[in-house]
A and B are shown apart, each in its own frame.
Chain A
Amino acid sequence: METKIVELIASPREPHFVGDGFRVHNFIPSGYRMDMRRMNPFIMLDYNSKFVFPATNTPKGVGVHPHRGFETVTIAYKGRVQHHDSSGGGGIIGEGDVQWMTAASGVLHKEYHEREWSKTGGEFQMVQLWVNLPKKDKMSTPKYQAIKYDEIPRVKLEDGESHVEVIAGEYEGVKGAAFTFTPVHMLNARLKNKGKASFNFPAHYNTVILVVEGSVFVNGTEVVPTDHMVLMANEGEVFEVEASEDSLVLILSGEPIDEPIASHGPFVMNTQEELVEAFNDFNHGKFGTLAD
């Protein structure tokens, strides 16, 4: 086994608002060397770093919009989000919960800060991710996985205090809570100061580390502060993350889907023709209905 080395460490850029409820730093696909092809199957990653939303009676969020050809995954670190989609999926996720929506052939959805949470406001922190689907599943039936924090399997680490939560894929033989269409590992490592976790993924898997809380060393030498993202090289398999204070890091590693990508706005397909079809279907109401 070779060491998987750090390719680069990216600072978060100035955030922008998605709707009025998500203040995000985009890393994928606009980051340097983090385009869809390089990062596939992770084709979009918006990170809402910790931000305080004031109390309001009108919940903030993003109104009705379509998706086709991939899955949207929301990992809640702080705050609460409510979601509805045209396939009947929906729910509320809070701290530690994950919402995994397979848009596939197409849904309309909307996502807002939960009404009750909005009334008090507070710290809000989330990751929103798009996971690509292989061609054979792009037009499959939409579905929705609501994953509660308590249902996410954990693996205790050597120090006895730190642990890894397996949202999807596998860690040390423990399988994740979410179903995935292609091999995807999605892990939250909650590390106490000096806590260590090592990871082992095939060299060609596209792999990133996002420091959500605290700061860590990767492979003993690379210092990574809060809100920074590490892109790992497509060489070597094994790497180690060690916390230099109490930390929380998100680790993503996935097998690239070796198929062409054609994307425009909320649609990610394989060809331009399929994109045109997606727009037509959307304009003809084939994504169902969802009230604002």
Chain B
Amino acid sequence: MECPNFIRFFTSNLDVQESDVSDLLNQCERLTIKKNYVLLNQGEFSKHTFFVEKGLLRQFALNENGKEHILSFAPENWLVTDRDSAYFNQPSIYSIQALEDSLVVLIDQSFIDKLTQLVPGFTAYNNRLLHNHIRHLQDRIGLLLSATAEERYLNFVQMYPDVLMRVPQTMVASYLGITPESLSRVRKEIAHKKSE
């Protein structure tokens, strides 16, 4: 199965030949999965980071009352992993599920090691990705602690412009930490402002 996004992800950011990335890609598992398939269950162990070649994943947790909380969405070109499991050998605290039919590439430590060896600049790039991810989480904590529902929603639209059209509103509300009713109200208010 062809993975042009995966190859472009590395060739456009690193000084690396397409054929080298292609060779590394062949060492990775690639899985085609159906909508709703749970790639990782809360409590399971996985050493993998999932690259979304096609489709859409979500990372979420169920609390004791059975309520879902969505930590992130991962459309094409996003990476998603449960760090407890992948880096600290703990059972995963999040589940990862396909929201659309998807094609995912499974990245493991040996891939990272080989790429590091092949491309001297990879470590610096990977650090930058990591810092960017922490910045995103920082922003997200800030929004959850102090922002209004409208601010959270506008940030989401900016972050995930196409995801908005691809998932049910209840999931957007769950990601934002607001009720579906609040989300509906915010959307109406924004539409109203625009039409004024």
Inter-chain CA distance A59–B37, complex, in Å, is 45
Closest B residue to A222 by beta carbon equals: B32
Write out the residue numbers on chain A whose beta carbons fall within 8 Å of the beta carbon of B30. 10-11
Mind listing 19 A-B residue pairs with CB under 8 Å? A5-B34, A6-B34, A7-B33, A8-B32, A9-B32, A10-B29, A10-B30, A10-B31, A11-B1, A11-B29, A11-B31, A13-B26, A13-B27, A14-B23, A14-B26, A14-B27, A32-B29, A32-B48, A225-B1
Closest 5 CB pairs of A and B: A9-B32, A11-B30, A14-B27, A14-B26, A8-B31
Contact across chains for B29 and A7 when beta carbons are under 8 A apart: no
Write out the residue numbers on chain A whose beta carbons fall within 8 Å of the beta carbon of B31. 8-11, 32
Closest A residue to B24 by beta carbon equals: A14
Closest B residue to A224 by beta carbon equals: B32
Q: Pick the contact of B106 from A5, A32, A222 — CB < 8 Å?
A: A32
Write out the residue numbers on chain B whose beta carbons fall within 8 Å of the beta carbon of A266. none
Contact across chains for A8 and B1 when beta carbons are under 8 A apart: no
- Interface magnitude class on chain B: 10 to 19
Query: Scoring A residues 1 to 44 as 1 if CB is less than 8 Å from chain B, else 0, what string do you get?
Result: 00001111111011000000000000000011000000000000
Verify if B28 is at the interface (C-beta below 8 Å from A): yes
**Which B residues between 110 and 132 are near A, CB-CB below 8 angstroms?**
none
Q: Could you tell me which B residues sit within 8 Å of A by CB distance?
A: 1, 23, 26-34, 37, 48, 106
Write out the residue numbers on chain A whose beta carbons fall within 8 Å of the beta carbon of B32. 8-9, 222
Inter-chain CA distance A6–B32, complex, in Å, is 10
A184 to chain B, nearest CB (A): 25
Inter-chain CA distance A11–B37, complex, in Å, is 17
Contact across chains for A31 and B29 when beta carbons are under 8 A apart: yes
Write out the residue numbers on chain B whose beta carbons fall within 8 Å of the beta carbon of A10. 29-31
Write out the residue numbers on chain B whose beta carbons fall within 8 Å of the beta carbon of A32. 29, 31, 48, 106
Chain A's interface: helix, strand, loop or mixed, by majority?
A: loop
A258 to chain B, nearest CB (A): 21
Inter-chain CA distance A14–B1, complex, in Å, is 13
Contact across chains for A8 and B26 when beta carbons are under 8 A apart: no
Write out the residue numbers on chain A whose beta carbons fall within 8 Å of the beta carbon of B27. 13-14
Write out the residue numbers on chain A whose beta carbons fall within 8 Å of the beta carbon of B23. 14
Inter-chain CA distance A10–B30, complex, in Å, is 6
Inter-chain CA distance A59–B12, complex, in Å, is 46
Closest B residue to A6 by beta carbon equals: B34
Write out the residue numbers on chain B whose beta carbons fall within 8 Å of the beta carbon of A8. 31-33, 37
Write out the residue numbers on chain B whose beta carbons fall within 8 Å of the beta carbon of A5. 34
A212 to chain B, nearest CB (A): 17
Write out the residue numbers on chain B whose beta carbons fall within 8 Å of the beta carbon of A225. 1
Closest A residue to B28 by beta carbon equals: A13
Closest B residue to A15 by beta carbon equals: B26
Write out the residue numbers on chain B whose beta carbons fall within 8 Å of the beta carbon of A9. 31-33
Inter-chain CA distance A11–B31, complex, in Å, is 6
Apart from A8-B31, A9-B31, 16 more pairs, CB < 8 Å: A5-B34, A6-B34, A8-B37, A9-B33, A10-B29, A10-B31, A11-B29, A11-B30, A11-B31, A13-B26, A13-B27, A13-B28, A13-B29, A32-B106, A222-B32, A225-B1
Closest B residue to A225 by beta carbon equals: B1
Contact across chains for A7 and B37 when beta carbons are under 8 A apart: yes
B20 to chain A, nearest CB (A): 13
Write out the residue numbers on chain A whose beta carbons fall within 8 Å of the beta carbon of B37. 7-8
Inter-chain CA distance A9–B27, complex, in Å, is 16
